[in-house]
Each structure stands twice: as C-alpha cells, then as structure tokens.
Amino acid sequence: MIPNTTTVILAEHKDEIWSIAWSNDGGYLATGSGDKTAIIWRVGSSDPPTGRECILKHILKDHTGPVTGLTWSPDDKTLLTCVEDVIRVWDVQTATCMKELTGHIDMIAAVEWYESGFMSAGMDCRIISWDNQFQKVDTWSNLPIRITDIAMDSLRIIAVGVAREPTSTNDTSDSDPASLIKHLDLNERAPKVAKVLPRVFGPLELHGFDDEEDYRPVSPVQNWVFENRMLIWNPGEMRLEGDISLKNGDVTSVKISRDSRFALVGNGPNVHLALYKRIPVIVSTGR
C-alpha cells in the first residue's frame, strides 16, 4: 500500500530541502537543505495516532553551500554530505566532520553507497568510484549528461541529468557516442580495462505513468548533447543498455526498487513522478 497520509512535518530547516536519505535500519533520517546544513533525525519505531515521533539528533553545520546529496554507510555509522564540489564525511554519533573528499570540478548532485564503497556524480559529467577507506578507485569522465542523480543495483548504474553544453563551437572531441568507459565490477576494488561502447544498442522499452499518456520506446541518438535522458549502464558488461527520452522538463532524481524491476524518476517543472518498468533488452551487434 502506497503511503498517502502526512503523519509529521519536520520544519527545522530555514530553506528548501535539497536531499533526503533514510538510514539502512530505518531508525534515522537525514535531510540536506539550501540553508547550508544537514540534519539527522531519530525516528520512532511506532506510529501513534498523533504521528510518528521524530527527534532532532544533530545539525551538521559549516557547509559552504546547499547540501545537494546524502548517503549513509551500510553500518549507518557514517554519513556523507555533498556541497558544491566537495564530499564531507561525518561521524554520525559525534556529528564531527572526519574528512573532505575532492575530485569533482562542478556541483556534486548525487552520492550513493554500496557494500564495497560509494559512487559520486555531478554536473561535471563524471562519476567517481570510492572505496570504504575514502580512496578514489576510478573516474568515468566526459559522460553525455550533466548528472543530477544516480541509482544502482549490484550490476548497473542509472544516471539521469540535463543537457551537456559543448565547451566551444569547434570542440568535437566528444561528438562521437562510441566513447570509452572503464569497466567497474561492483564486487571488486580494481577497475578493469576500458572498452569502446557500441554505437548501436538493442531496443529498450520503459513505461512510465502520469496524468497524460504512457512513455514510448525511443531510438538511439547519434550525438552527445542529450536533453532529459535516463542512461542505463551495465558496468559488468561494459556497455550502455539504454538511453531513455523523458518529458516534463529536467530530470532531477531516480531511485531503483530493491528487486531492480522498477525505477522511480522525478522530473519538472511540474514535479511529476514516473514509475518505469524494465523490458528485457536485446543488444544489436550490427551483424
């Protein structure tokens, strides 16, 4: 049953909320805001008639800008916050910043933790892989979109974003979609050899639902300047599985269901949410 009733309103922030993340055990909630703070809330385990209890545990200050991304470590002892092009590593119990991570050159829009490390992605058209010791493992640069959100399962990463603008009218270095991307096995620390992505990939049909009509299949595009796209990567096979054309404005967020069957995508300006169902992909080899 989909939740449809407001039980509590958290109003401690002084500006709009940019990011939100539940702890893995469900006992805590982290929120990031344009007021340059992140807040950790302790959430009650029961739902009394007056609403679930939510108690402010920590306010994480000293950010230099809006907190654009949040993610919890698998053991819920560490929280990552993203501000501008820096990732901050926080001890949840003491609310102290233990480390700052650099590597992006534009705003970090999303960060996602998995068992052996975490991924960060941003408006600089790159995804960076980090290990659990906060060391950089690999960087995927020159991706075709300015990334606004990522989601992942054990095999794939979905990146969504807005149009990438060319740096100059004479810049053709990234105009060919047959570009390099390094393979990163999510179960291994060391990346494998880079491989050329195929120019043509198989048909992919995803269905989303809003108050107008279903989304329809889209054809592969032949340039890097994409608008309102959802890109589906398969790191295990070193290939792009899908490039899905979306509507209703810029893509702002994406989350994958635990069984990897669905993706929930948010895109504006009318704040639509679309639930996507994945249809099996047949990859074209051109033969």
pLDDT digits (tens, 9 = 90+) for 83-98: 999 999 999 999 999 9
Using 50, 70 and 90 to split pLDDT, how confident is the model at 170? Answer: very low
Higher local confidence (pLDDT), 239 or 86: 86
Residues 139 and 276 occupy one common structural domain: yes
Residues 74 and 126 occupy one common structural domain: no
- Residue 104: predicted pLDDT: 97
**pLDDT mean over 158-177:** 55
- Residue 119: predicted pLDDT: 94
Using 50, 70 and 90 to split pLDDT, how confident is the model at 68? Answer: very high
Domain membership flag for residue 30: yes
Residues 55 and 168 occupy one common structural domain: no
Domain membership flag for residue 111: no
Residues 224 and 154 occupy one common structural domain: yes
Domain membership flag for residue 110: no
**pLDDT mean over 132-148:** 89
Give yes or no for residue 195 having a pLDDT over 70. Answer: no
CA distance 207 to 134: 37
**pLDDT mean over 258-271:** 55
Residue 169 CB coordination number (10 Å):
6
Domain membership flag for residue 114: no
Residues 78 and 206 occupy one common structural domain: no
Which of 102, 131, 150 corresponds to the end of one domain?
Answer: 102
Q: How many residues does the chain have?
A: 287
Q: List the single range of 20-34, 121-135, 159-173 with lowest mean pLDDT.
A: 159-173
Three-state secondary structure readout of 162-205: EECCCCCCCCCCCCCCCCEECCCCCCCCCCCCCEECCCCCCCCC
CB 201 within 8 A of CB 284: yes
- Residue 26: predicted pLDDT: 83
What residues form DSSP beta bridges with 181?
A: 195
**pLDDT mean over 15-27:** 86
Domain membership flag for residue 109: no
- Residue 103: predicted pLDDT: 96
pLDDT above 70 covers a percentage of the chain that reads 53
- Residue 200: predicted pLDDT: 30
Using 50, 70 and 90 to split pLDDT, how confident is the model at 46? Answer: low
- Residue 174: predicted pLDDT: 41
If we measure between CA atoms, which residue out of 12, 11, 18, 61 comes closest to residue 36?
Answer: 61
Residues 197 and 80 occupy one common structural domain: no
Mean pLDDT for the chain? 70
CA distance 192 to 267: 34
Domain count, the chain: 2
Which of 74, 102, 130 corresponds to the end of one domain?
Answer: 102
* pTM assigned to the model: 0.64
**pLDDT mean over 181-187:** 40
Using 50, 70 and 90 to split pLDDT, how confident is the model at 152? Answer: confident
Domain membership flag for residue 276: yes
Which residues span the domain enclosing 252?
122-287
Give yes or no for residue 63 having a pLDDT over 80. Answer: yes
Residues 55 and 25 occupy one common structural domain: yes
Residues 95 and 133 occupy one common structural domain: no
CB 245 within 8 A of CB 265: no
- Residue 266: predicted pLDDT: 54
To which residue do tokens 């967020």 refer?
A: 253
**pLDDT mean over 62-71:** 93
Residues 174 and 223 occupy one common structural domain: yes
Domain membership flag for residue 239: yes
Residues 140 and 98 occupy one common structural domain: no
Contacts of 118 (CB under 8 A, 6+ apart): 71, 80, 111, 112, 129, 130
Higher local confidence (pLDDT), 198 or 263: 263
CB 205 within 8 A of CB 279: yes
Residues 131 and 70 occupy one common structural domain: no
CB neighbour class for 233 (10 Å; exposed up to 12, middle 13-18, buried from 19): buried
**pLDDT mean over 106-120:** 92
- Residue 9: predicted pLDDT: 77
Residues 243 and 205 occupy one common structural domain: yes
Domain membership flag for residue 33: yes
**pLDDT mean over 163-189:** 43
Question: Strand ranges (DSSP E) for 199-271?
Answer: 206-207, 229-234, 239-245, 251-256, 262-267
Highest mean pLDDT among 14-18, 213-217, 253-257: 14-18
What residues form DSSP beta bridges with 21?
A: 30
